[in-house]
């Protein structure tokens, strides 16, 4: 989660959206397309992760290689 929060400042789209939301004083923007929950940004109800292939791969591996996911790391 910390990596996602730190990486957010590198994504021009998310910086623009967050600034727009701060200026308007809202936690929801453009219908339900963008939302802020705590320090996290959601797009269409899902955690927004910038287009950083290394970070996205790390997140997929963390959630894919678990017994709960049914893969067991294989």
DSSP 27-73: SEETTTTEEEETTEEEETTEE---S-HHHHHHHHHHHHSSTTTT-TT
Q: Check residue 65 and give its pLDDT.
A: 61
Provide the residue range defining the domain that includes 15.
2-64
Residue 72 included in any domain: no
Residue 24 included in any domain: yes
Residue 34 included in any domain: yes
pLDDT digits (tens, 9 = 90+) for 9-54: 777 877 888 788 888 888 787 777 888 887 788 888 888 887 788 8
Residue 73 included in any domain: no
Residue 40 included in any domain: yes
Residue 47 included in any domain: yes
Tokens of 14: 């998310």
Q: Check residue 71 and give its pLDDT.
A: 52
Token pair 């200026």 in the structure block, residue? 23
How many domains does the chain divide into? 1
Residue 69 included in any domain: no
Q: How far is CA 58 from CA 23, 28, 46, in A?
A: 33, 28, 17
């Amino acid at each position: 989660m910390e990596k996602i929060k730190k990486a957010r400042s590198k994504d021009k789209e998310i910086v623009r959206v967050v600034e727009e939301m701060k200026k308007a004083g809202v936690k929801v923007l453009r219908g339900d397309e963008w939302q802020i929950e705590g320090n996290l940004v959601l797009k269409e109800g899902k955690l927004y992760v910038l287009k950083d292939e290394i970070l996205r791969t790390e997140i997929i591996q963390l959630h894919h290689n678990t017994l709960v996911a049914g893969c067991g790391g294989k």
